[in-house]
Amino acid sequence: MIWVAATLIAATAQTARNAAQAGLTKDIGTVGATAVRFVFGFPFALLALALAGALVPIPRPDLAVLGWAALGAMAQIAATALMLMTMRQQGFGVATALMKTEPVTLALIGAVVLAEPLGLARLGAIGVATSGVVLASGAGWGRAAWSSVATGVLAGGLFGLSAIGFRGALLALPDGGFVTRAVTILSLTLGLQAAVMVAWLAVRDRPALKGIARHWRVSLGAGALGAFASLFWFIGFALTPAANVRTLALIEVVMAHVLSGRMFRQTVRPAQLAGMGLILAGVGWLLAIAAR
C-alpha cells in the first residue's frame, strides 16, 4: 500500500503548489504561471536524479520510454491549455468538476492501452467518487455551454492520457526500483515540458518569460513543490494502475474545501458536503478493493 501514502503526499504537495502559484497568475498570466511548474521544477528533478544516481544505477531510457514520456508530457500541456480555456469560459467551479472526470476516462484508456483490468467494483468506486466531485464543486451547471463542457471533458481525458503516458514510461524502463524509475521519468518529462514551454513563451509571450525571471523566488518555491508532488505521483503510477492513483487523489477536493474554509472563511453548502461525503465513500471503496 505504498502507493496510497505516495498519492496522499502528492495531493497535499500539489495543494500547496497551487496556493504558491495563485499569486503568480495575476503578475505573469496563466500560461506563464503554468510554465513555472515545469521550468523551475526541472532543476529539482535533476538534483533528485543525481542523488539517486550516487546510490544506485540509473536505468537508461530507450525509444519506447521516450515515446511514452513524450506522450505524457505533451498530453499534460495540451490538457492544461484546455483547462485554462474552460476556466475562462465557464469559471473555476465548472472547470474543476469537468477536470475531475479524469479517473473515469483514465480507467477506460488504461484498459484499452495498457490492458489494465477494470472490474465492476473498481468502476463503481471511481463513479461514486467522481459524482461527489460534481456535487462538491458547487458549479452552476444551468449556465454551462455545451462547447465548454466538451473542452472540459476533453481536458480531463488528456490529463488521463498523460497519466497513461507516464505509467507506460515507468513500466517500459528496463530495470530499477520504483523510486529510481520515478526519478528518471520525472527528470525526462519535466525536461521535455520545460523546453517546450520556454520555446513557446520566447516566441509568443516574452513579457511572461521576463515576469517568471523577475519573480524567481516565488517561482522557485512553486517549482520545488511541483517537482516534489510529481515525484510522488510517479511513485504511485509505478506501483498501481494510474486510475487508482487519480481516484484516491480526489481527496484533494476535500482538502481544498477545508483549506478555503479555514483560510478564506468560505461557507460550504449542504450539496457540497454531500459531494465530499461521496468522494470519501468512493475513495474508501477503492482502498477496500485494493487491499484484497
**Other C-beta atoms lying within 10 Å of the C-beta of residue 120:** 7
SS3 helix, strand, coil % of the chain, rounded to 5? Answer: 85, 0, 15
Nine cell digits for residue 190: 519535466
CA nearest neighbour of 95 among 36, 45, 138: 138
Nine cell digits for residue 174: 528496463
- For the chain, list residues with pLDDT below 70: 18-23, 25, 84, 87-101, 105-106, 114-118, 134, 136-149, 252-269, 272, 290-292
Only one residue has cell 508532488, namely 229
pLDDT value of residue 168: 93
- Compute the C-alpha angle 165/171/174, nearest 5°: 130
CA nearest neighbour of 57 among 228, 172, 170, 183: 183
Sign of the four-CA dihedral 115, 116, 122, 126: negative
The 3-state secondary structure of 155-218 reads HHHHHHHHHHHHHHHHHHCCCCCHHHHHHHHHHHHHHHHHHHHHHHHHHHCHHHHHHHHHCHHH
Nine cell digits for residue 134: 460534481
pLDDT value of residue 263: 44
**Other C-beta atoms lying within 10 Å of the C-beta of residue 23:** 13
What span, in angstroms and rounded, lies between the C-alpha atoms of 164 and 106? 7
DSSP string, 72-92: HHHHHHHHHHHHHHHHHHH-H
Q: What is the pTM of this model?
A: 0.80
pLDDT value of residue 173: 94
The structural domains of the chain, with segments of one domain joined by +, span 2-290
CA nearest neighbour of 83 among 24, 13, 162: 162
For 27, 187, 237, the CA distances from 228, given in Å and listed in that order, are 24, 12, 14
Q: Are 109 and 161 in contact (CB under 8 A)?
A: yes
Count H helices, E strands: the chain? Answer: 13, 0
**Other C-beta atoms lying within 10 Å of the C-beta of residue 206:** 10
CA trace torsion 237, 98, 112, 252 (10° rounding): 20
pLDDT value of residue 46: 95
